[in-house]
Amino acid sequence: MRMFVFSMRTFDELPCFEKYCPKYGIEYDYTTETPCMDNLDLAKGYDVVNVITTVFDQPMLKKLHDMGVKCIATRTIGYDHIDVDYAKSLGMGVIHISYSPNSVADYAIMMMLMGLRRMPHIMERASIQDYTLKGKIGRELPDCTVGVIGTGRIGRTVIRHLSGFGCKMLAYDLYENEEVKQYAEYTDLDTLLKNSDVITLHAPATDDNYHMIDAAAIEKMKQDVVIINCARGALMDTDALIDGIESGKVGFAGLDVVEHESGLYYFNRMGEPLHNPKLAILRSYSNVLVSPHTAFYTEEAVANMAENSIIGAMKYMNGEDTPYLV
């Protein structure tokens, strides 16, 4: 099997591909460039194209198909950046991956703690040598109810790790999990929204849950609620979130993802206009912490992403069953 890798990060991903491609007998080449119509020809003669979060629309997929590419492997859990239905109509396979759930789970818990203890505000004031206490009092996690929306691998890990803090936990998912029931109580979504001091999102982005956190949802939440999103930006209506922050309903928002982040994150945009005014508004609040989609970013996760994208594509090309096939 021959694989061409786009958007290769030579400082962390390349050593993983250098290790795993020979292990599995994969011939590969790469570019650090982001895939676009102008450079897709680099993948000519390859069976598999390996990508990250770049949008793959119908013209790009058609060009890859016409070049003989049979499979697209994305080094991400989410695959909403790929027109999967169109790829399938062309007979192309789409592979996504899984990686250590600890990375995102621990990051989400870190954001919860930072929000409850008002850490962004404390650090901001300390940077100008304001060491007073007024306005910096926090809350303790064991006294809070945490609502977890989505109990897949990451959501389950959040719940398991939170169990050591002694907080009450509520969970919502269309498919209940027996392990989760050891630590949390499953409820309907409205009950979770109304009774949680902290709400953390761990659901995939689908048509059905687009903007599941909208103005109506925020209205149901507790005053001074902490909202964490380390999943997908499309789960939250940014306008509604901004209104909730400005009204005081939302006490803290920890956002590792935002709407319309494609083309921004993973690039150096220093000195450039971002063309995302809502992101600029969010970053201006002292009770909002925005990070550039880095919750996943650990040594273990990067290695998992590289290896599992190779394994998934290899099994697909060999006609074998793989849990990574979309």
Measured at the CA of 65, the angle between CA 312 and CA 84, to 5 degrees, comes to: 55
Of 221, 168, 163, give the one whose Cα is nearest residue 191: 221
Q: Given this model, what pLDDT does residue 275 score? A: 87
- Sheet with 2-5, strands from edge to edge, namely 27-30, 2-5, 48-51, 71-74, 93-95
Q: With respect to CATH, is domain 2-99+298-317 assigned 3.90.550.10?
A: no
Q: Please tell me the predicted confidence (pLDDT) of residue 274.
A: 84
Q: Which of 293, 299, 300, 307 is catalytic?
A: 293
Query: pLDDT digits over 220-271, tens only?
Result: 999 999 999 999 999 999 999 999 999 999 999 999 999 999 888 888 999 9
CATH number of 101-290: 3.40.50.720
Residue 196 has a pLDDT of 98
Mean pLDDT of 139-144: 98
Query: Can 2-99+298-317 and 101-290 be said to share one CATH topology?
Result: yes
Does residue 215 carry a pLDDT above 90?
Answer: yes
Question: Is 232 designated active site?
Answer: yes
Q: Quick one: pLDDT band at residue 141, thresholds 50, 70, 90?
A: very high
Secondary structure percentages of the chain, helix, strand, coil, to 5? 40, 15, 45
Whole-number pLDDT of residue 263? 81
Mean pLDDT for the stretch of residues 300-325: 97
Contacts of residue 73, defined as CB under 8 A and 6 or more positions apart, other chains included, come to 3, 48, 49, 50, 51, 95, 96, 97, 309, 310, 312, 313
Q: Give the per-residue pLDDT at 90.
A: 98
Q: What is the pLDDT of residue 208?
A: 93
CA angle, 198 as apex, 153 and 75 as ends, to 5°?
30
pLDDT value for 144: 98
Q: Which of 75, 96, 153, 261 is catalytic?
A: 261
pLDDT for 211 equals: 98
Distance separating alpha carbons of residues 241 and 249, to the nearest angstrom: 9
The whole-number pLDDT of residue 305 equals: 97
8 A C-beta contact, residue 114 and residue 139: no
User: Which one of 96, 153, 156, 232 is the catalytic residue?
Assistant: 232
Q: What is the pLDDT of residues 262-297, one digit of tens each?
A: 888 888 999 998 889 999 999 999 999 999 999 999
Q: Please report, to the nearest 10 degrees, the dihedral formed by the alpha carbons of residues 301, 81, 262, 70 taken in order.
A: 80
Q: Where are the domains of the chain?
A: 2-99+298-317, 101-290
- Give the model confidence (pLDDT) of 146-178 as tens digits: 999 999 999 999 999 999 999 999 999 999 999
Q: Return the structure tokens found at 322.
A: 């793989």
pLDDT by residue (tens digit) across 89-120?
Answer: 999 999 999 999 999 999 999 999 999 999 99
DSSP H/E element including 274:
none
Element containing residue 23 per DSSP (H, E) = helix 14-24
The predicted pLDDT at position 13 comes to 98
Closest-CA residue to 172 (of 130, 131, 220)? 220
